[in-house]
Amino acid sequence: MDRDTFLHSVLGDRVSGELGERIFQTFANSNPRGIGWKDFLCNMVIFLKGSQEEKLQFVFFVYGGYDTMITRAQMEKFLSSVFTQNEIHQYQSRFESAFKNSSDGERLSYFHWKNWALDNRHTGFPLLSWVFEVIEREEEEEDVEANIPLARPNDIFPRTSFSKRQFSFLYDSYIRLLRQNPIFRKRGTLLNRMSLFRTFCPPVVEELAPFLLEAFFPSNHGDFIDVESYMIGLSVIYSGEIREKRTRLFQAFDTEDSGHLTQDQFLQLLNLVSQSEANSSVPPVVHQQGEAQTEDEREIITLEYFLEWAGDINFGVRLFLALKQLIFVQIGLHPFSPCEENDMIMQMINYEIKHKKEGDTWYVLKYKWWKNWVDFTTASSEGRGALPSEIDVSDLILSRHNMLSSVMHMVSRSSHVLHDHEPHVIPDMIENQNFKLVPASVWRALSNWHGCRSPHGIPCKVVKSKITNKIEVEVYPILLHFILEPPMDLPKMGKVEDAEFYFSKTTTLGELKRTACFQVGAGNPTRVRIWHAGKVRGDPAVSLEDKLMRTLEEENFKEGQRIILEIQQEDGTWPRGGGGAEELQEIYPIFPGHTGLRNLGNTCFMNASLQCLSNISLLTEYFTSNRYIAEINKNNPLGMNGHVASEYGKLVKQLWPPETQKSPTKFYAIHPKDFKTMIGKFAPQFSGFQQQDAQELLAFLLDGLHEDLNRVLKKPYTTNPTYTGQPDAEFAHEFWETYLLRNQSIIVDLFHGQMKSSLLPECGHKSLHFDPFTFLSLPLPIDDKRAIEVYFFKTGRSPKRYSILLDRLEGTVTELLKEISLLVRLPERRILLTCVKNNFISSVLSTEMQLREVADILFGFELDGGEERKGGEEEEREEKGEKGEEGEEEEKEEEVQNLQKEEKEEKEEKEEKEEMIYLRFVHRKVEKETTFFISPYTTQLFSIPFVVSFSKSKMPTAKELYNTIEEKVMFMTAESEEEREWRERQERENERRSDRSEVKETSPRFPFVLRHVNKSGEACPYSAWYHFSIGRELDPNSEETPELKIGDTISIDWIPPIRSLKYYRENTKWFLEHPSVRKNWELLNSPIMLDQCMTWFTQEESLGDEVVCGSCHLPQNTKKKMEIWKLPKVLVVHLKRFVYYNNHWMKSNRLVQFPVDNFDVSSWLVETDGEPVYYDLKAIVNHSGRLGSGHYTAYARDSNGTWMFFNDHLVTPVQDPSTIVSPEAYCLFYEQRNICKEEILKGDPIEIDEKDEKKAVGTLPPDRSPVNSVNKPKENCLVM
């Protein structure tokens, strides 16, 4: 059992995280795989039924004790994790008292700790009060319920039809159920009806079982029955009249006690009975007069009609015979005669043989015993021999000297071998000569009737052969020997080298691998490889990784064959060799460019950037062909001595192998740890594991690659050309030639373009620069406004969704309240704005809050003080006014004046006004579990909570509160026209049958129960979590005012099932939509075109009047303009989604529509010859989520034109290419069409070994300061 299952299903959701974790670890006994069945069972017995001493020992281990000692540090660590700082200070003195009597003040023996625990049992220390209160509460309840006496057999026997022997046996079976099912048992002598569930299922379908329990085992104790109801119910099943059984079944389906069944109920009855009869081994009963007339046009089915109809067709006879058979088979009542026993067993065997299916379980009987039983049950009474003895199959069980305990795995001998503990048949036994196979139902019946010395028997599974396609019982599974490489250290076992487990011949090698990994605790199967070992150690092994879909039978595996479990080490290496090229036969293809990169810890920014860059085909070919090695400039003072280029080259070769390879795992991925370590040496901001910006990494990487691969070995001193009015083309050429004197590399050839920068002062002098650029950073519109959606509930009106647009950073809740006040036409003091989380009100907004502290979706409620809203002309005018936006604007000014006037009047009368309080209400479904460990109740919140307000002097009584809430939620149980007519017809019939007062007593007044709960709606606010109280119930008949204060939460615990209720959900038809919602959405989310972003980039920007002109040397009002002069071969467009605005960083999620193919960029150039310049999109870096907490992914187009999605180690094809244009796009990589490859890739590919590559890079001094390379002088290469 894993941690989440234990905390949720066993302890319950209210147990604090750290305390629950400690209890889980104590249950699991430090087993990393979770809680085993044996540990769970033992600890639950101690937890629920243990003595005080046993429970104290349990708590001792939870606190951190080990063996018989606990240290101060262990207790402090535990208490600090479950206590707040204030609580720690409060309990400090009591904590110190524990170590006063210890020898050194640091350690405490269990004896002294126990005395301290007993002294502090009610002081609030975790788990002590819980355990002791549970003990005391159990003792109190047992004292009360012990007064319910167990009915005497002599009082029940005359009311049954059993013989004395049968009655005595069944009476004892009730006692056995009480003892054997402590989880189902209620304290005292009552038995939970659902403990009989497994008695009927199968063959009874699970949906029918509750109806049968209600039919034959009615109860006056809720879900529990006494021995009298149990015995009488079995008597009716065993020998009751068929008419009585049908009547009971009819009444069970009549859930409303109306005396009728609806057509739906009737059809449900027919369907469930027919399904259960089909599952029964009882032979079909021939109908006397044809099939049932299920197409009867009657709306209701009366009991008289049902009995007459059922008698005509023998309805239910087969079901009732099957139920009678279950008394013998499941409960163990011995048949009346040997002949009856034989008939029953043979019926079950014949049925199971005909319906044998894969996955069933059969059992092995000793053939000699079976033959004696057959002779005894078939012989005449005169010739009948001795009664068969107890069933004993011990002679058939394969004995192992190493099976020392019943745990799943054990240490059996000094060599530390894990073993399977299941019993198996001795080899070479022959069916129907040495043993007999019988179905599970027959085994259960015979062992109940005649006793069994081997209660678990020898189970054998039914399998379907893939070779012969036959279904057969597998008596002899295959025993396989596993060798662990390397040996594993297991708790309490030491080093384990070998293991032996049985497997079915139909087990696939993939299933075998997963099961073996679980059995030995090897963890994730993707980190394990399996090999077919030779006959002796040292023989060559053959990989089985390419045969995981084949079965043991298909691979002809035999008993005792050896399999190697090779477990990957923590550093990613394999004990039998890295790639396993000689022996390992991988099955998953690795296509070039389709390999993922492992996330090393917040390195998604790096992975996405590398995937995009590696999909620039010419750059990748440059590295995979080793051309880069000849151009490494290891002496460049501005570079990284070739190390960044070398590491990038190694990584690209791994991502782009020369041909398709194969991997033993489906999602093969590379660990780029060497690359990350290297760039961290030169750029400290990338050395840790903090989230970084992908564009900043790309800028550093491209610049680093450029300097490492710069063909200019000795850079000359240069100055920028001076503008003297020459033509732009000539001046731009001078700038570019000057730049190339110092910078020539593959990065310049592919990624560097030229930008024209113009300064235009008012004096008329013009200043021009033509600087190189790598990134084209385009601005996005700043969304300085934020839309807050408010779902508003106004008394007497349908709820409506509004949208309010406010300043993102400077907006306040006060402004929000004022805007919503105008929209809903209510004064601000009568509006309550809240945040809703998980279907409860998590917080109430205060006017002091800033808008940035508020969620995007809020819920507002009118505080009406409990007054009824009056209709009239104003309401009608409001309806008309909201039909059109223009009409609303016309009334807005008038409405503002009216509201201001009303607010002024209220302010003047404020002292005379009574204080108004409000209560929170949540909708909840409470279910009482029939099987549970500690708390029998589970709760589920649903729908949207709401608020009801009252004046303090007019607080309602509990009865009035019920009536008020009923009016509020009446729509949830609204009936259709047909349902209403049917209910009214039922009520009229009930009135004719009985007095209305009697009817009123049998039906609940309200379809819900109100309970006072905590804010989250989970439990009672007045009791500790370990009481597992679901809330303090309010009495619907009480005339007293409940003790409630402002903001308290009341749960509406609905009795009808949730699916039958009509309740609110966000963004559904329940909410009307105000025009402001659509208007604001379009304003903030309308997509923009990439060309529009370019227009914003190239528009003139005013620099103010403080810029000194270079010609006249006077301050001038200057404008700046940026334009593209020359485009690079690979254009990297950076969408500036992260903007520093008003002292805060913001992210824009606006969708930018960018072209994918045939992107003509000629319009972006300053000068063009009129010919189009086409680019195609090659890759995209995406950023999802918010600023500082997002995630980077990438799209890239492979050599076949297929778009691939890269999410760290996961690489998948894009199903719909249109989805790549999304609001998450951050960096776009465009590649120019028809690039001349020979101009970029000069020379032939180079063959070089690893040693020569190491010689190509320079030495990296260990004390080299990375600051030099990060803050080095930049060439005039702009990152716009």
Per-residue pLDDT of 1200-1221, as tens digits, reads: 889 999 998 888 899 888 899 9
Instruction: Say what the pLDDT of residue 915 is.
Output: 67
| Ramachandran class of 439: left when φ > 0, alpha when ψ lies in -120 to 50, beta otherwise | beta
The answer, yes or no, to whether residue 103 has pLDDT greater than 70, is no
Task: Write phi, then psi, for 17 (nearest 5 degrees).
Answer: -55, -55
Q: How many whole angstroms separate alpha carbon 837 and alpha carbon 856?
A: 12
Instruction: Say what the pLDDT of residue 1271 is.
Output: 36
Q: How many whole angstroms separate alpha carbon 106 and alpha carbon 71?
A: 6
Counting Cβ atoms within 10 Å, is residue 900 exposed (0-12), middle (13-18) or buried (19+)?
exposed
Instruction: Say what the pLDDT of residue 348 is.
Output: 81
Max avg pLDDT among 166-180, 530-544, 570-584, 840-854? 840-854
Query: What mean pLDDT is predicted for residues 1222-1235?
Result: 92
Q: Residue 825 to residues 643, 793, 834, 984: CA-CA distances in angstroms?
A: 69, 12, 18, 41
pLDDT in tens, 495-515: 777 788 888 888 888 888 888
Task: Write phi, then psi, for 871 (nearest 5 degrees).
Answer: -80, -170
The 3-class secondary structure across 446-477, one letter per residue, is: HHHHHCECCCCCCEEEEEECCCCCCEEEECCC
Cβ contacts of residue 328 below 8 Å, gap of 6+?
334, 335, 344, 445, 449
Strands 224-225 and 191-192: antiparallel
Pick the range with the lowest mean pLDDT from 361-365, 661-665, 750-754, 1207-1211: 661-665
Instruction: Say what the pLDDT of residue 1251 is.
Output: 64
The answer, yes or no, to whether residue 552 has pLDDT greater than 70, is yes
The answer, yes or no, to whether residue 413 has pLDDT greater than 70, is no
Q: Which residue has the higher pLDDT, 695 or 284?
A: 695
Instruction: Say what the pLDDT of residue 861 is.
Output: 92
Helix, strand, or coil here: 1180?
strand
Q: Which residue has the higher pLDDT, 406 or 106?
A: 106
Instruction: Say what the pLDDT of residue 692 is.
Output: 86
Helix, strand, or coil here: 64?
coil
Pick the range with the lowest mean pLDDT from 60-69, 127-136, 476-485: 127-136
Helix, strand, or coil here: 862?
strand
Pick the range with the lowest mean pLDDT from 313-327, 983-997, 1131-1145: 983-997
Query: What mean pLDDT is predicted for residues 878-901?
Result: 53
pLDDT in tens, 974-1012: 655 555 555 565 556 555 544 433 333 334 568 888 999
Query: What mean pLDDT is predicted for residues 364-383?
Result: 78
Instruction: Say what the pLDDT of residue 585 is.
Output: 44
| Cα 1244 from chain centroid (whole Å) | 54
| Percentage of the chain exceeding pLDDT 70 | 71
Query: What mean pLDDT is predicted for residues 387-397?
Result: 78
857-862, strands of its sheet edge to edge: 840-844, 831-837, 857-862, 785-793, 800-807, 1072-1073
Pick the range with the lowest mean pLDDT from 55-59, 302-306, 815-819: 55-59
The answer, yes or no, to whether residue 1227 has pLDDT greater than 90, is yes
| Ramachandran class of 1104: left when φ > 0, alpha when ψ lies in -120 to 50, beta otherwise | left
**List of E strands, 175-255:** 191-192, 224-225
* 1117 token code pair: 């009002």
Average pLDDT score, the chain:
76
Instruction: Say what the pLDDT of residue 1226 is.
Output: 92
Query: What mean pLDDT is predicted for residues 57-75?
Result: 72
The answer, yes or no, to whether residue 691 has pLDDT greater than 70, is yes
pLDDT in tens, 778-833: 988 777 788 899 999 988 788 889 999 888 778 899 999 999 999 998 888 889 99
Task: Write phi, then psi, for 130 (nearest 5 degrees).
Answer: -60, -55
Q: Which residue has the higher pLDDT, 930 or 879?
A: 930
Cβ contacts of residue 449 below 8 Å, gap of 6+?
328, 332, 334, 335, 341
Q: Which residue has the higher pLDDT, 103 or 365?
A: 365
In this structure, the chain runs to a length of 1280
The answer, yes or no, to whether residue 485 has pLDDT greater than 90, is no
Instruction: Say what the pLDDT of residue 1275 is.
Output: 42
Rounded to a whole number of angstroms, the distance between the first and last alpha carbons of the chain is: 56
Write down the pTM of the prediction: 0.48
Q: Which residue has the higher pLDDT, 822 or 969?
A: 822
The answer, yes or no, to whether residue 883 has pLDDT greater than 70, is no
Query: What mean pLDDT is predicted for residues 248-277?
Result: 81
Query: What mean pLDDT is predicted for residues 166-190?
Result: 63
Q: How many whole angstroms separate alpha carbon 1133 and alpha carbon 1226?
A: 8
Instruction: Say what the pLDDT of residue 1182 is.
Output: 93
Per-residue pLDDT band for 105 (boundaries 50, 70, 90) equals low
Pick the range with the lowest mean pLDDT from 95-99, 414-418, 968-972, 1190-1194: 414-418
Max avg pLDDT among 79-88, 484-493, 1182-1191, 1267-1276? 1182-1191
Name residue 846's beta-bridge partners.
Answer: none
Strands 785-793 and 857-862: parallel
| Ramachandran class of 851: left when φ > 0, alpha when ψ lies in -120 to 50, beta otherwise | alpha
The answer, yes or no, to whether residue 579 has pLDDT greater than 60, is no
Per-residue pLDDT band for 875 (boundaries 50, 70, 90) equals very low
CB atoms within 10 A of CB 352: 19
Instruction: Say what the pLDDT of residue 698 is.
Output: 92
Task: Write phi, then psi, for 89 (nearest 5 degrees).
Answer: -65, -40
Amino acid at site 846: S
Are 388 and 356 in contact, with CB atoms under 8 Å apart? no
Per-residue pLDDT band for 128 (boundaries 50, 70, 90) equals low
Max avg pLDDT among 13-22, 232-241, 576-585, 615-624? 615-624
Instruction: Say what the pLDDT of residue 874 is.
Output: 42
* 731 token code pair: 């001046």
Query: What mean pLDDT is predicted for residues 397-413?
Result: 39
Instruction: Say what the pLDDT of residue 1193 is.
Output: 93
Pick the range with the lowest mean pLDDT from 214-228, 248-262, 1182-1196, 1227-1241: 214-228
* 68 token code pair: 């018989």
Q: Residue 66 to residues 75, 115, 800, 946: CA-CA distances in angstroms?
A: 11, 17, 60, 51
